[in-house]
Amino acid sequence: MDLLDRLLEHDAWTTRQLLEICATLPADQLDHEFDIGHRTLRTTLHHIINNMEIWSLLMAGEPIERQTAQSISGMLRRLTVAETRLQKIARKVKAENGWDEVWIDHLDDPPREKTFGTALAHVITHSMHHRAQVLYMLRLSGVEPLPEGDVFSWESHLK
């Protein structure tokens, strides 16, 4: 397995772990406001997945269909779709060595050219940043145990 596959699979696996933990929480805990980021567990998880969806749709040249499902089960389904789309795009970019090839981000005003390599890196690092916020909110909520969320934990899970 190459580095890109490791990063993408770890990214989705770790987000899925947090969603599964949050599936055990009552709605009031998912919607409790914190003084960080997108303020709630539910909104932050939705933001992570929405980012994966939008960027993968943009890179695929597909119409943007904003998903609003914010139930944990709905977000798990959305994650699976976005993860699959991102992996397909990444494998195509890798196979064609198209890291520096450009696509047009028509959501920017004015629209801008972006490279596939940088966009894929953005999605992965963006998710990591917000997962750290989710972990912080879960800690403040007294939820235990919590995953490390690191690549070694992901790799151990494969064995």
Binding-site positions for a divalent metal cation read: 47, 126, 130
Cβ of 61: how many Cβ atoms within 10 Å?
10
Using CA atoms, how far residue 52 sits from 57, 83, 103, 147, 158, in Å, is: 8, 8, 16, 21, 23
- Both tokens of residue 89? 């795009």
Length of the chain: 159
* Contact partners, residue 159, CB within 8 Å, separation at least 6: none
Q: What share of the chain is helix, strand, coil (3-state, %, to 5)?
A: 65, 5, 30
Residues annotated in the binding site, as ranges? Answer: 47, 126, 130
